[in-house]
Chain A
């Protein structure tokens, strides 16, 4: 998967969707949204943090969790090392706390560049801890999803993360602590079919890939012809599976307002030191 226009921050970049040439400076100013076609390019976790939360408010937690290779799966260690070298991350999810217009949140951001954002034990654990921290400190959780699904190299361990994360969501629900999920490109399979889909509110970025089965699988299984926008955020929205499609430039304010509304009953927790 191409890292896209971030790869070489030269003077010009090319849109991955419409192939038009853009000024790198303008492209970054538009938060990597193409000014011609509106394509929302994938972000690194750092860009997501910078463009979403109050400046300097993000404090990372569980920095040291690293994947092991429980199955001794062929080439898994090599893939982990390569992803680490490429992204500087230790796994596909970065978690922490941050403020958004002063509201302290428990947050997690998946980065697709690390093994396709796949969820193994580390990602599952970080998502679970994010939700549990929100629960414990009674602050809303906001999670940005970007994942091809469960990480097959960890086998059944990965599948169990689906259960574990949903269990944490259920505990938040029982306690009245809100959880907002943002589906970014792509939000698929084992992630979509677990914690992502049971969020209290689900936002999605325009044209993000959102679906259960890999497109090859579902195309084989098709009896009914798929609509052109099959497995996109728009399709999921039309099907009633997503609350709102939110363009990136409006995401920050939409999230802030939602947090203010859903978190209204929570004790004031601003500026709590993580």
Chain B
């Protein structure tokens, strides 16, 4: 029976690590040499066990485990990457039409001294945060805020960075009545119109229309344990087999892993994560992401404004797998 959540899947490892943390604290407190030695030995033993468990978990990840990993609460989110990769972030709010959506954040920032506009989906870690961020499910005003910032980037000739991490766009009644479909489509259209460079990074869940709504970029990068999918695996299973519990089977069928997306050349570059996942070493994954974005912007700096728009269209234009009978 497959685990349903990252926490469930990681239970053994989480318990081991809690134990290790307790032993470390005990070790710090212990002054008596023989007892100190005894605790140290135990600590070493548990650390060895932890490494074995981590090794097993990380090397045996199937598509479903990739889904759980992409959704893992401790994974760095957009605001973490902004903190890790950029400086002097000024968050800007509101779509100037209806409201401010907390599931999409954006603003100006600096990447190695270069001013940029950054936009990304934002999830929450605890219940309160999750509610505040609507589980990272953006409403029309979120996409309209994104569009406003994309247009501003065009106006002031600033490169755009987007971070993609959403289970899906908000499916509620309010979102329908304010035109969630139009907002997503129009956000993509605005991105196609830009003549400044755009780089998107899929950092966690690339959930269908809600994800691609801010991922019309010149280059799309993807973290090793992120996913990108046309439909959540549970939804796919519910439709195909009338059983949402068959998520693991659907995850395999959908080939939604970063490796799959990269093999199909639907994303341009895979970014390696620290062993065991991005959350195990945020500083190093932040460095990886930052370096990659800098490199991509450097490569894109050779393009003229109209070439950037052309390149973006031709990047998507070639995507299709069909035959001529």
Contact = CB atoms under 8 A, between A and B. Distances in A.
Contacts of B173: 218, 222-227, 230
A167 B180 contact: no
A239 B179 contact: yes
B323 A169 contact: no
A192 B189 contact: no
Contacts of B253: 71, 73-74
B179 A160 contact: no
A235 B317 CA distance: 33
B79 interface: no
B185 A213 contact: no
Interface string A191-214: 011111110000000000001111
A197 to B, nearest CB: 4
A239 B177 CA distance: 5
Contacts of B212: 159-160, 162-163
A169 B316 CA distance: 13
A217 B171 contact: yes
Nearest to A169: B189
B256 A155 contact: yes
Contacts of A222: 172-173
B132 interface: no
B193 A170 contact: yes
A131 to B, nearest CB: 11
B176 A161 contact: no
Contacts of A218: 171-173, 176
B282 interface: no
Interface stretch (B25-33, B67-75, B259-267): B259-267
A134 interface: no
Interface of B: 168-182, 184-186, 188-189, 192-193, 208-209, 211-213, 215-216, 228-231, 235-236, 238-240, 253-256, 260-261, 264, 266, 312-313, 316-317, 319-325
The 9 closest A-B pairs by CB, nearest first: A213-B171, A121-B320, A193-B181, A170-B192, A197-B185, A160-B319, A192-B181, A159-B230, A197-B182
Given A150-B231, A152-B240, A167-B188, 4 more contacts: A150-B208, A152-B230, A152-B231, A174-B193
